[in-house]
Chains A and B, each alone.
Chain A
Amino acid sequence: DAGVIQSPRHEVTEMGQEVTLRCKPISGHDYLFWYRQTMMRGLELLIYFNNNVPIDDSGMPEDRFSAKMPNASFSTLKIQPSEPRDSAVYFCASSFGTSGTDTQYFGPGTRLTVL
């Protein structure tokens, strides 16, 4: 069974460009999470969805960040315009269930470098 799939694995772009990160959750999972990992702040939750509906986007750093989940098998995280401080590893995770005890399964991450 395939795990969480993320693309691209690496992205290098120039400041001001639009960046789109993609995620395919595990089939049947009803929660999807976007995280960002940096040395300074560790793993931060950006936004999460339940049944394709955004539940909590309080972690989204600025209006430059947006996320969508048009269907149960696909989500995007977009940064427009990108800035050097957005350089980080972005993880997507999914889980099944409705309590805080459900295991989250992470994708391999997208390493974003903004020059």
Chain B
Amino acid sequence: DQQVKQNSPSLSVQEGRISILNCDYTNSMFDYFLWYKKYPAEGPTFLISISSIKDKNEDGRFTVFLNKSAKHLSLHIVPSQPGDSAVYFCAASEYGTNSKLTFGKGITLSVRP
């Protein structure tokens, strides 16, 4: 049973527009959420994170929003660039579980020039 769900396998957007990647979770004990980015033939790299005490975290063009009541988070990329084309993984953890992360299946983002 997937505790972290990324229901849309792919997303295609025009360069310069906003990309919105969604993620849902079922485990109410999760209190820390992360997004990882993965290029082909490389390992995932950390992108941005958010704690459950916040509902928004921003880092340059990347913003993550958390809606705890809906158990939903989203990653916004504005403006999208062709170099953002990659697979994006949503991940979650419970504080005190010794860094154990649960990942979703990933979303493939394609940014068209």
Contacts and interface: CB of A to CB of B under 8 A. Distances in A.
Interface residues on B, range: 20 to 34
A48 interface: yes
A99 B99 contact: yes
A43 B104 CA distance: 7
B51 to A, nearest CB: 7
Given A42-B105, A42-B106, A109-B43, A104 B89 contact: no
Interface string B86-99: 00010101111111
B44 A91 contact: yes
A107 B43 contact: yes
Interface in B42-72: 42-46, 49, 51
Nearest to B104: A42
A100 B103 contact: no
Contacts of A104: 46, 99, 101
11 contacts: A42-B104, A43-B89, A43-B104, A45-B101, A48-B100, A100-B31, A100-B32, A100-B98, A100-B100, A104-B99, A105-B46
Interface residues of A, number: 29
B47 to A, nearest CB: 10
A106 B105 contact: no
Given A42-B2, A45-B103, 7 more contacts: A33-B101, A43-B106, A45-B101, A101-B93, A104-B99, A104-B101, A105-B46
| B-side interface mostly | loop
A35 B91 CA distance: 13
What is the interface of chain A mostly: helix, strand, loop, or mixed? strand
B42 A99 contact: no
B93 A100 contact: yes
A103 B47 CA distance: 10
B22 interface: no
A103 B31 CA distance: 15
A50 B97 CA distance: 12
B89 A31 contact: no
